[in-house]
């Protein structure tokens, strides 16, 4: 970060940003890419690029784009989201067809696009089976819908399922992935798609105030991450599994091990609120997050070692028995 050559990304001449965009597009099998400050901006841009104001986007009822983006789709893109409840974040072709609006009813918005999330955060970091993702994308496209893939943790999905990340990305017309999650960068995300989609994304990035100047200081970390941080994600997954199995053995903890497929561990508490548990853990130097009244999320990542997992379990046991 301290020594990379810099330019001005607003004018398209920062060499690190340009290189990151080229590498990211090639890695995901897309024509082009654009560097963005955050994954949330990437999803707002994905909605805006794939729809028009007054239209509707189908998304899982627990999707990040629906729950955690400040109604950005509605406020900034003028697009309504139609939430669909799924069993584990995997939307079936039948559910997509059931959510379609009739095109001859002027009382209802036109369905323009669908958004998929892989891995799916709120469902526990679960992975879309590739064939299921392909089937959902195919039926969406057959009905004239555009497909945006919220791939914030797409590399976790690829590593855990043993498939090429480009095969997952092929299921989306546009894809956003985060550099700042499992890939361990300080900030940044990348939006990928056709050259036309990325041109539109650059215009939206400008409208949203997301164009940056000497962004190469951040982009350089993205290049290192794509080169050195992807394969090591398997370590995070292994640590998460060990953590989940240990938590499941503690009294007062319920953890669905079938949903611990990557680096996220969700668990429910009997008798203790998630907020109280989080606060007591924080006092002992352990950071997690309460997601519901009695639900907590832990995330394993770069810098967390196997012995840290054992320390975590000891703290959890202490908190629960206090």
Q: What is the CATH classification number for the domain harbouring 215?
A: 3.40.640.10
CATH number at residue 286: 3.90.1150.10
Q: Is the pTM of this model over 0.85?
A: yes
For the chain, what is the largest distance between any 2 Cα atoms, rounded to a whole number of angstroms? 62
Query: How many structural domains compose the chain?
Result: 2
Same domain, 179 and 207: yes
Same domain, 203 and 271: no
Torsion angle of alpha carbons 74, 78, 82, 83, nearest 10°? -20
Q: What is the pLDDT of residue 189?
A: 98
Q: Report yes or no: 182 and 208 within 8 Å, Cβ to Cβ.
A: no
Output helix, strand, coil percentages for the chain, rounded to the nearest 5: 45, 15, 40
Q: Which residues of 66-105 are buried (b: 16+ CB within 10 A; e: fewer)?
A: beebeebbeebbebbbbebebebbbbebebbeebbbeeee
CA 148 – CA 43 distance, rounded (Å): 8
Q: What is the pLDDT of residue 322?
A: 82
Tell me which of 228, 259, 280 is where a domain ends: 228
Residue 269 lies in a domain: yes
For residue 291, give the H/E element and its range.
Answer: strand 289-292
Residue 180 lies in a domain: yes
Residue 291 lies in a domain: yes
The SS3 of residue 56 is strand
Same domain, 80 and 14: yes
Same domain, 204 and 308: no
Tokens of residue 9, six digits:
């990304």
- Asked whether the CA dihedral 187, 193, 194, 197 is positive or negative, the reply is negative
Same domain, 183 and 284: no
Same domain, 112 and 214: yes
Domain of 109, in residue numbers: 9-228
Same domain, 220 and 151: yes
Residue 187 lies in a domain: yes
Same domain, 179 and 260: no
Same domain, 262 and 123: no
Same domain, 171 and 29: yes
Q: What is the pLDDT of residue 271?
A: 87
Q: Which residues of 186-223 are buried (b: 16+ CB within 10 A; e: fewer)?
A: ebbbbbbbeeebbebbbebbeebebbbebbbbbbbbbb
* pLDDT tens, residue by residue, 81-135: 999 999 999 999 999 999 999 999 999 999 999 999 999 999 999 999 999 999 9
Per the document, the length of the chain is: 322
Same domain, 197 and 70: yes
CA 275 – CA 56 distance, rounded (Å): 35
Same domain, 208 and 122: yes
CA 20 – CA 146 distance, rounded (Å): 25
Q: Lay out the sheet containing 146-150: strands in order across.
A: 32-36, 189-193, 174-178, 146-150, 111-117, 56-60, 80-84
The candidate with the shortest Cα–Cα distance to 148, out of 79, 214, 203, 208, is 79
Pairing of strands 295-299, 289-292: antiparallel
Residue numbers in the chain where pLDDT is lower than 70:
none
Residue 4 lies in a domain: no
Residue 29 lies in a domain: yes
CA 215 – CA 157 distance, rounded (Å): 28
Tell me which of 228, 253, 284 is where a domain ends: 228
The candidate with the shortest Cα–Cα distance to 42, out of 171, 153, 175, 221, is 175
């Amino acid at each position: 970060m301290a020594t990379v050559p810099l330019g001005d990304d607003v004018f398209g001449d920062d060499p690190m940003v340009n290189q990151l965009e080229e590498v990211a597009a090639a890695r995901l099998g897309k024509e082009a890419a654009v560097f963005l400050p955050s994954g949330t901006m990437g999803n707002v841009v994905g909605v805006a690029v794939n729809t028009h104001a007054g239209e509707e986007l189908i998304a899982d009822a627990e999707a990040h784009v629906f729950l955690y983006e400040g109604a950005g789709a509605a406020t900034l893109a003028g697009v309504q989201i139609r939430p669909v409840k799924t069993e584990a974040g995997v939307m079936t072709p039948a559910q997509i067809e059931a959510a379609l609006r009739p095109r001859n009813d002027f009382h209802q918005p036109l369905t323009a696009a669908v958004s998929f999330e892989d891995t799916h955060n709120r469902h526990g970091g679960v992975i879309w089976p590739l064939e299921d993702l392909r089937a959902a994308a195919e039926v969406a496209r057959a009905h004239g819908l555009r497909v945006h893939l919220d791939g914030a943790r797409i590399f976790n999905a690829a590593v855990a399922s043993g498939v090429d990340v480009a095969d997952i990305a092929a299921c989306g017309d546009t894809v956003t992935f985060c550099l700042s999650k499992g890939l361990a960068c300080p900030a940044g995300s990348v939006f990928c798609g056709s050259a036309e989609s990325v041109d539109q994304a650059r215009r939206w990035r400008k409208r949203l105030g997301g164009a940056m100047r000497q962004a190469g200081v951040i982009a350089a970390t993205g290049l290192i991450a794509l080169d050195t941080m992807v394969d090591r994600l398997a370590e995070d997954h292994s640590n998460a599994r060990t953590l989940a199995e240990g938590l499941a053995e503690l009294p007062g903890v319920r953890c669905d091990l079938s949903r611990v497929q990557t680096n996220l561990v969700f668990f429910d508490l009997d008798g203790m609120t998630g907020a109280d548990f989080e606060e007591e853990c924080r006092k002992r130097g352990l950071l997690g997050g309460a997601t519901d009244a009695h639900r907590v999320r832990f995330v394993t990542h770069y810098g967390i070692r196997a012995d840290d997992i054992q320390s975590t379990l000891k703290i959890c046991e202490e908190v629960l028995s206090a």
